[in-house]
Structure 1
Amino acid sequence: MNKIPQFFRLSLIGFLLISLASSCVSRQEVVYFQGLEKAEAHMDKQRETSLKIKPNDLLTISVSAPEQAAALPFNLPVVGVPQGGMNTGMTVNGRQQLQTYLVEENGKIDFPVLGEISVEGLSQQQLASKLKKSIKRYVQAPIVNVRVVNFQISVLGEVNRPGTFDVQDAYFTLPQALGLAGDLSIYGKRNNILVMREEGGTTTHAYLDLGNADIINSPYYYLQQNDVIYVEPNAPQRQSASYNRNAGVYISIASVLVSVAVLLTR
């Protein structure tokens, strides 16, 4: 008569032991950037290889000077953007914004006064310095600001807020992108983050381990335009995808029947 209760007591003990064993997760599996001190020595070199201008990029370039009238020929006309968002030549009930330069497939833009300028492969700072050097022939002490305005990244997979995000910073890292997406969910695989990138008309990729601080030395640590980040689900989450969605209902029914059986056999 007591065999069934004894069986369930043993089963409960076994379940608890398994639960305790599975809850013992090592520090290496969950802590980010381990060994950071050793990896930091090369971080400045990686900053030199961050955001580069590519064909089909949209750039805003503003030129100013102590005598602003002298700098005006080197600026595109400012356009008005109404509340609806479409560009017009008017600014009534809207706002002003700089027009953009489209980087052509040959890597060049058509710049006022200077003509065609090769910009592909340059950083924003490098292009600003290049333009400043040329404009100095016409304008005293020019100030040039360059910005890539179509800098977007997409974060997919096991994160809390997947989506596509606009980026304002020229130096934007993988951890910052994951932060915009609300960090990895509890089911995200931290040691195999996929970063996909378009380079020269082809797609390249790398798998990065958030637990290893040496990722700061990867060329994929600093993100570029239109990079896609994918966080793979961990093993328990992949396995759960194959479970029957009604399994919870079946287990509940089975639990009720077993409890009834236990009561009847007492």
Structure 2
Amino acid sequence: MMKNQLLTTFLILMVLLTSCASYKENSYFQGLDRNPEMAYKITNFSPPTIQPGDVLSLSVKSLNSDGSAIFNSGAVTTAKGKDGSSSATSSANDGYLVNKDGEIQLPLVHGVKVGQLSLEDAAALIKGKISPYLKEPEVSLAFTNFKVSVLGDVAHPDVITVDGERFSITDALSKAGDLTATANRKNVLLVREVDGKRKYINIDLTSPRLFESPYYYLKSNDLIYVEAGKAKFATQSTFVKVLPIVISIASLILIAIQVSK
């Protein structure tokens, strides 16, 4: 019985000594006012603008569908039916590549400068360019290569393909399975390319002002790196340092028990 109690005490001591990360260190948005009546206007989101290297999916609809087909997605395959009719289809992977000058090459109208425009503004510009060739055209654009990379101390590091225009750092970390218990939540690195330059931004996930950060919403090709916290290495280091001491104490207790019998 005494030996079982000693073993239990020993195991509890080891757990206490090796548990270095506190609950507070693992909490997000510390100090955030959680009053359910509080509401804050979102002012730090702006639609992403088109950049060189982007690939755009273009969908054009009009009253003359055959004319619309040549613009859709940048490439069209025509298939003939048994009755001799034809239909136009396009692959989901097709798209218009934005060149270094910010232009895409469209049939009939050729170069259209869409660089630095939002998708909505670019769609309006394209609509104006193709209107002479189509009746009442409707144009929609979407990014096909909006990707964000998440590396480091997360459950599932990955390259995430984004649907839509609004994607936040919390969305990305959720997609990656969240941070591990030992990750450093106070110093998450965001790497972003802007105008041919690479920017390095440190983000504190424990800050209640995270949602107001100009970097809360991500851009295409952003990289998020989560470094391991000190607790991850301290746990291993503490275990190695303390284990001999605990073994020595346990041995002395066992000897004392034997002598007292």
Normalised TM-score (structure 2): 0.74
Distance in 1 (alpha carbons) for counterparts of 2:44 and 2:203 = 15
Residue by residue over 1:134-173, the C-alpha shift from the partner in whole angstroms, topping out at 9 and shown as x without a partner, is 2233323212121211111111122111121111121111
Calculate percent identity across the aligned residue pairs: 27
Provide the residue aligned with 1:127 in structure 2: 122
Letter of the structure 1 residue corresponding to residue 169 of structure 2: L
The structure-2 alpha-carbon separation of the partners of 1:107 and 1:142, relative to structure 1 and needing over 3 Å to count, comes to: same
The structure-2 alpha-carbon separation of the partners of 1:154 and 1:255, relative to structure 1 and needing over 3 Å to count, comes to: farther
The structure-2 alpha-carbon separation of the partners of 1:193 and 1:150, relative to structure 1 and needing over 3 Å to count, comes to: same
CA RMSD for the aligned pairs?
A: 3.5
* Stretches of structure 2 lacking an aligned partner (at least 5 in a row): 1-5, 79-89
Tell me whether 1:111 sits opposite 2:97 in the alignment: no
Provide the residue aligned with 2:151 in structure 1: 156
Provide the residue aligned with 2:27 in structure 1: 30
Provide the residue aligned with 2:69 in structure 1: 72
Distance in 1 (alpha carbons) for counterparts of 2:33 and 2:242 = 42
* Equivalent pairs, count: 234
Residue by residue over 1:90-145, the C-alpha shift from the partner in whole angstroms, topping out at 9 and shown as x without a partner, is xxxxx943522121112211111121111222222221122123223332321212
The structure-2 alpha-carbon separation of the partners of 1:29 and 1:248, relative to structure 1 and needing over 3 Å to count, comes to: closer
Distance in 2 (alpha carbons) for counterparts of 1:98 and 1:143 = 21
1:130-209 correspondence to structure 2 within 5 Å: 130-209=125-204
Larger mean CA deviation between 137-146 and 157-166 belongs to: 137-146
Q: Find the residue that maps to 1:261 and give its secondary structure.
A: helix
Conserved in 1, the CA contact under 8 Å of 2:142 and 2:164? no
The structure-2 alpha-carbon separation of the partners of 1:218 and 1:120, relative to structure 1 and needing over 3 Å to count, comes to: farther
Task: Work out which of the residue numbers 96, 118, 129 in structure 2 matches 1:101.
Answer: 96
1:253 Cα offset (Å): 5.5
Conserved in 1, the CA contact under 8 Å of 2:147 and 2:160? yes
Provide the residue aligned with 2:251 in structure 1: 257
Distance in 2 (alpha carbons) for counterparts of 1:51 and 1:152 = 13
Normalised TM-score (structure 1): 0.73
1:51 Cα offset (Å): 2.2
Distance in 2 (alpha carbons) for counterparts of 1:67 and 1:107 = 29
Distance in 2 (alpha carbons) for counterparts of 1:113 and 1:106 = 19
The structure-2 alpha-carbon separation of the partners of 1:191 and 1:64, relative to structure 1 and needing over 3 Å to count, comes to: same
1:46 Cα offset (Å): 2.6
Deviating beyond 6 angstroms after TM superposition, the runs of 4 or more aligned structure 1 residues are 21-24, 36-39, 244-249
Larger mean CA deviation between 108-117 and 214-223 belongs to: 214-223
Distance in 1 (alpha carbons) for counterparts of 2:21 and 2:110 = 65
Provide the residue aligned with 1:56 in structure 2: 53
Conserved in 1, the CA contact under 8 Å of 2:148 and 2:162? yes
The structure-2 alpha-carbon separation of the partners of 1:98 and 1:157, relative to structure 1 and needing over 3 Å to count, comes to: closer
Residue by residue over 1:3-22, the C-alpha shift from the partner in whole angstroms, topping out at 9 and shown as x without a partner, is xxxxx9xx99xx69x87x97
Distance in 2 (alpha carbons) for counterparts of 1:216 and 1:165 = 21
Provide the residue aligned with 1:40 in structure 2: 40
Task: Work out which of the residue numbers 217, 223, 245 in structure 2 matches 1:228.
Answer: 223
